């Protein structure tokens, strides 16, 4: 009798506890994007279920201006190897073709681990009593549709909301003066030196995308394990890259856990960081054939507000960086 009472009490007590919950299997979705460096080198992705994609055709613009209130970066079109020379002279009328020769040191935008360093350098230091480079005239050179372009460019002024600059063909006395007003609804404003106008519809509004897949010109020697397309410069390659909406997204790169193991619980305590650009993530090349391959061991975990996502590349169709498609798997944690 006592044994029966004991068993009854044990059963009654244990029945008051809810067994440990198991995390349900998280559904994922697959999307496919295509990139072509000469026609449609740009695809924006908005995370969610379903995930949205928006492809953009190649546009004729050379400069993009940071719109963030406390930043004043000026960057070149990443799909073209635009080289830049700082003449260190602030007399616009003195700069012409004779300003460059065989000893001219050209620079390109430099891709860092989480950012891009603009070759149009410390032009914004005119807020200080003794500016170092205020009004330096830059020479920009690029090739487009087999035509060689040389332009000169000079920042005249800037404040929290605007850029004010002068530009024109290198060997002409005529010039244009332009003002770019920062647009809070987009990360960047885009400008075409050739068309003398601000380029529109290049980028969706900041609340309409999270990841931007495109290309980036960079040094071949810096990225020996990443596939690239050749450019007119033998030392520069056109690499697959992605840009992040750094206004709304933070990231963590995981190469240890399997994609299936990543969930909300083991992701929420990770150290996320803001990032603007990354080259070659999700891509690798076969060491023997040098063919383009996906790198599915690299999982990119993203945090946007209170939402978490993880994305990996499953496969790549096409052997050319300049023309291929990628299948990604994405799950919301």
The pLDDT of residue 118: 82
How much is the pTM?
A: 0.84
Categorize the per-residue pLDDT at 192 as very low, low, confident or very high, splitting at 50, 70 and 90: very high
Q: Is 31 exposed, middle or buried (0-12, 13-18, 19+ CB in 10 A)?
A: middle
pLDDT-based confidence at residue 20 (cuts at 50, 70, 90): very low
Tell me how far apart the alpha carbons of residues 179 and 163 are, in angstroms, rounded to a whole number.
Answer: 6
**Digit-coded pLDDT (tens) for 155-186:** 887 777 888 899 999 988 889 999 999 888 89
Question: 260: helix, coil or strand?
Answer: helix
17 falls in which pLDDT band (50, 70, 90)?
A: very low
- Does position 13 have pLDDT exceeding 60, yes or no? no
pLDDT tens by residue, 281-324? 899 887 777 778 888 888 999 999 889 999 999 999 987 898 99
Q: CB under 8 Å to 226, separation ≥6 — which residues?
A: 239, 240, 279, 280, 283, 284, 285
Quote the pLDDT of residue 122. Answer: 65
Provide the token pair at 301: 């975990």
Mean pLDDT, residues 180-193 taken together: 91
* Strand, coil or helix: 6: helix
14 — pLDDT class (breaks 50, 70, 90): very low
Residue, of 42 and 70, whose pLDDT is higher: 42
């Amino acid at each position: 009798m006592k044994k029966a009472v004991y068993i009854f009490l044990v059963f009654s007590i244990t029945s008051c506890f809810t067994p440990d919950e198991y995390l349900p299997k998280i559904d994922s979705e697959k999307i496919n994007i295509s990139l072509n460096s000469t026609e449609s080198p740009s695809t924006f992705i908005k995370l969610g279920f379903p995930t949205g994609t928006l492809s953009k055709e190649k546009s004729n613009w050379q400069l993009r201006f940071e719109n963030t209130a406390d930043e004043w970066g000026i960057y070149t079109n990443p799909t073209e190897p635009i080289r830049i020379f700082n003449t260190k002279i602030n007399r616009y009328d003195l700069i012409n073709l004779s300003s460059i020769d065989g000893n001219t040191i050209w620079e390109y935008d430099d891709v860092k681990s989480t950012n891009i360093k603009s070759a149009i350098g410390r032009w914004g230091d005119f807020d200080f009593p003794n500016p170092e480079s205020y009004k330096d005239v830059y020479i920009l050179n690029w090739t487009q549709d087999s035509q060689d372009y040389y332009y000169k460019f000079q920042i005249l002024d800037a404040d929290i909301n605007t850029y004010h600059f002068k530009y024109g063909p290198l060997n002409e006395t005529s010039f244009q003066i332009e003002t770019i007003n920062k647009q809070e609804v987009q990360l960047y404003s885009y400008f075409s030196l050739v068309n003398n106008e601000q380029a529109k519809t290049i980028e969706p509004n900041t609340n309409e995308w999270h990841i931007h897949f495109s290309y980036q010109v960079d040094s071949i020697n810096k990225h020996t394990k990443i596939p690239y397309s050749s450019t007119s410069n033998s030392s520069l390659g056109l690499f697959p890259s992605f840009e992040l909406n750094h206004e709304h997204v933070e990231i963590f790169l995981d190469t240890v856990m399997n994609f299936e193991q990543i969930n909300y619980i083991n992701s929420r305590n990770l150290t996320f960081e803001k990032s603007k650009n990354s080259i070659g993530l999700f891509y690798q090349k076969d060491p023997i054939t040098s063919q383009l391959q996906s790198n599915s061991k690299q999982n990119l975990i993203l945090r946007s507000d209170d939402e978490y996502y993880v994305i990996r590349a499953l496969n790549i169709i096409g052997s050319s960086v300049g023309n291929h498609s990628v299948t990604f798997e994405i799950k919301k944690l």
